A and B are shown apart, each in its own frame.
Chain A
Amino acid sequence: MAPQLIIVLVFFFWPAITALRQSLYVQDAFGLGETFAGLANFTRVLASRSYHEALVNTAIFSVSVALGAMAIALLLATMADRVLRASRAYRTLLIWPYAVAPAAAGVLWMFMLDPTLGVLTRAMTVLGIDWDFRLNGGQAMALVIVAAIWQQMSYNFVFFLAGLQGIPASLLEAAAIDGAGPWRRFWTITFPLLSPTTFFLLVMNTIYAFFETFGTIDTTTSGGPGGATRTLVYKLYQDGIVGLDLGGSAAQSVLLMLMVGLLTLVQFRYVERRVQYH
């Protein structure tokens, strides 16, 4: 007990409290003194245009990654659930991207989409698309989204498949006897019964897109071009570690903590309700 408590206190609460404190102070240019600033850091961060851009980028990125990775995973898991005996083999074939580092996933897709020798670039040239993610912000965003979806899909697949296998076959058989086709059975029985899994994955995918994709973005686009793929965490890193703006980055940390805290709270509320429901 004691060892873990010490680690948690020193490496979790101490930094968290430091962030809270720093967010309320302004450091002078030489880092020698600091003055209490109230909420000045927060108003400065929230008013800055680059923070708004990072917020919008994060929203576009997270929503695309969550929806894309979950839709593909649900489709493939539903198919794998149908083929019963072979589903384990397919699971092996589909789960391994989970083990690939987000940074490595970024490099793999960056290679396929390389402006001069990428395989997919050639295909797009045939279609008349002028592809260069180093110059085009929208294309840079597309690159990191695709890499993140590729990596996160396997995680969702495992949970959707487990969820699908937990649905009693008798319900689906009864519906089939009543004449409901596969399409109808899926949307009226399977999908509603999967909703706890779907909701859980929505939260987990958002957290993944917010934080773990830092490596994907840093190895491929470094937040560019022109800040087009700079997400909130990337901005936090640039302002705090590279730019050494302690007050501003601490305020950003606190804002991010609030967002994640809110998300987790919503999730636990939902889980509680689910428990009561049963």
Chain B
Amino acid sequence: MTQDDKLLDKALAGDDSSRRSFLAKFASGVFAGLVAPALMGEAQAVSAAPAEQAQQDLVPLPDLPDAVEGEHPVVRMMQDLRRALQKPMAERKWAMVIDLRKCTGCNGCNIACVTENKLPPGVTYRPVMTETSGTFPNVKRRFVPRPCLQCNNPPCVPVCPVHATYMRPDGITIVDYDRCIGCRYCMTACPYSARYFDFGNFYGDSEGGERQPYELLPTPEYGRDYDRASGASPIGNVRKCHFCIHRIERGDLPACVLSCMGRATYFGDMNDPTSLVSELIAQPNVMRLKEELGTDPKVFYLV
């Protein structure tokens, strides 16, 4: 019996503490999406993959010509991801760097995230704020994408009455939809307003009354297939950006990072001194939002 199977058994027995640790383990599995059926006993042939196999099943790197110098940022970041995934989860520390000098305000990240995570109306994990100041002709405007800042001291976590939200060993704060009771204390606690409540709305409901095919697909969050269209979780839960865990653990970049029109968003392991994000975080022009609150975010802005 593998470690995963033991955890599965515990989970099936209804042991909450083990379920939590299971989830932590589970979300790091490459075949995370396939574990759930195993749990249900409906797809016995499918089981969690060993780590070595996992490396082979990562999404392929883009097949690009060699660079004269430097590298395509997507390739560089995907290589950073691969190195990080070889380490135990607790030794990784995922971080995001957003270069505000390069954000063109296109909102590509915002919508790519909405489509990737199948977010309903009113839920946007990564809105892009517009800040305008000054008087004509001395006016300036900047765009500030605001994902979950993945605080190291997340104010949202201690307020949860059922321990449904917690920080994983790799630094990503997640919501266990199966424990979340929808009380929304965490939404109040988040100083960045980065949490959203899923009221169970669908785009099709306010346009013709028929749900569209793309919103009937399960949401892939946390490597699971949440069949939201049947009325299940995450409806009634609080939802938030999770750095697209289900993508990064396949060796792929978060939706917002891959899509960014200005190539303004970077992602990687800040525990790895050779990663692109580590280089960028060391720049003198780094800032974080509401630093004074002591939340210690892992989303950094270059200004």
**A joins B in a complex:** no
